[in-house]
């Protein structure tokens, strides 16, 4: 099976959650946006079946929404837990992570994606303060607790092996440390930090991180580093 990923070529964004799954599993995939440019992604969206990228296409179907794509790929890529109950929990946590990612994005775009950050810096400052003090600790505590309370052990968040969700948590933790380094130093997430380390050392991920396929975080993406939105120290 060959997979085609449609995602914007210049940011890790939500496409990165999908890339990490492909790279960890070592499967063949075509990164259409990076090979053919943003126009090819726009063209896919204009066909009308999907509202927004990332979109993954095979010869048989095309699928959008990160959590939905990963729930699908978890089976063929062998990044799933073994029981149905754990699979439901995986999807539940992946959807919660999608909520978290949307809130992270909304910190720098509190009035919607169309308004330039530079035009709403003061509003973004207010949004960032609330995010850093309320939502960031609440979401991190939830995922940290999920990890420590996994009855199958604390190496992985669901079940006893690596899943798509562990790879996604890696990306979110790395993104948060890029965007809010000061605020993140105040958070206590020992188990999530161990998880990030464990994921970074998986053979497929390590090779990917060292390759030119891996895009660096930047200020056009979801995780943006604006010092004025971070904790002042």
Ligand X SMILES: N[C@@H](CCC(=O)N[C@@H](CS)C(=O)NCC(=O)O)C(=O)O
Nearer to ligand X, 66 or 79 (CB): 66
* Cα–Cα distance, 117 to 138 (Å, whole number): 25
* Cα–Cα distance, 107 to 173 (Å, whole number): 16
Does residue 66 interact with ligand X by CB under 6 A?
yes
Q: Cβ of residue 83: shortest distance to ligand X, in angstroms?
A: 25
Does residue 224 interact with ligand X by CB under 6 A?
no
- 97 to 136, contacts with ligand X by CB under 6 A? 98
Quick check: 15 and 7 in contact, CB under 8 A?
yes
Does residue 53 interact with ligand X by CB under 6 A?
yes
* Cα–Cα distance, 196 to 194 (Å, whole number): 5
Q: Cβ of residue 93: shortest distance to ligand X, in angstroms?
A: 14
Q: Which range in 49-57, 120-128, 145-153, 199-207 contacts ligand X by CB under 6 A?
A: 49-57
Among 29, 37, 62, 65, the residue binding ligand X under the rule CB under 6 A is 65
Does residue 14 interact with ligand X by CB under 6 A?
yes
* Cα–Cα distance, 5 to 56 (Å, whole number): 5
Does residue 13 interact with ligand X by CB under 6 A?
yes
DSSP letter (8 states) at residue 157 = S
* Cα–Cα distance, 222 to 174 (Å, whole number): 12
Q: Which range in 50-58, 88-96, 116-124, 137-145 contacts ligand X by CB under 6 A?
A: 50-58
Quick check: 31 and 19 in contact, CB under 8 A?
yes
Does residue 63 interact with ligand X by CB under 6 A?
no
Among 42, 52, 111, 186, the residue binding ligand X under the rule CB under 6 A is 52
Q: In this structure, are strands 62-64 and 55-57 parallel, antiparallel, or unpaired?
A: antiparallel
Nearer to ligand X, 93 or 187 (CB): 93
Q: Cβ of residue 132: shortest distance to ligand X, in angstroms?
A: 22
Quick check: 24 and 51 in contact, CB under 8 A?
no
Residues ≥6 apart with Cβ < 8 Å to 220? 10, 11
Q: State the residues that interact with ligand X by CB under 6 A.
A: 13-14, 52-54, 65-66, 98
């Amino acid at each position: 099976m060959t997979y085609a990923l449609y995602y914007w070529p210049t940011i890790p964004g939500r496409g990165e959650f999908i890339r990490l799954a492909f790279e960890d599993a070592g499967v063949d995939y075509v990164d259409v946006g990076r090979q053919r440019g943003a126009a090819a992604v726009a063209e896919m969206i204009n066909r009308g079946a999907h509202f927004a990228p990332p979109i993954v296409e095979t010869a048989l179907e095309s699928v959008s929404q990160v959590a939905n794509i990963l729930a699908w790929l978890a089976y063929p890529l062998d990044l799933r837990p073994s029981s149905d109950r754990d699979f439901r929990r995986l999807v539940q946590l992946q959807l919660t992570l999608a909520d978290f990612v949307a809130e992270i994005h909304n910190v720098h775009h509190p009035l919607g994606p169309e308004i330039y950050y530079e035009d709403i810096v003061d509003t973004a400052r207010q949004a960032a303060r609330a995010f850093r003090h309320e939502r960031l600790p609440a979401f991190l505590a939830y995922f940290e607790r999920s990890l420590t309370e996994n009855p199958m052990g604390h190496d992985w968040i669901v079940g006893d092996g690596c899943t798509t969700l562990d790879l996604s948590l890696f990306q979110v933790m790395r993104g948060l440390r890029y965007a809010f380094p000061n605020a993140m130093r105040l958070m206590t997430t020992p188990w999530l930090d161990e998880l990030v380390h464990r994921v970074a050392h998986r053979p497929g991920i390590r090779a990917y991180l060292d390759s030119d396929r891996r895009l660096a975080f930047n200020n056009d993406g979801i995780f943006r580093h604006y010092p004025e939105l971070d904790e002042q120290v």
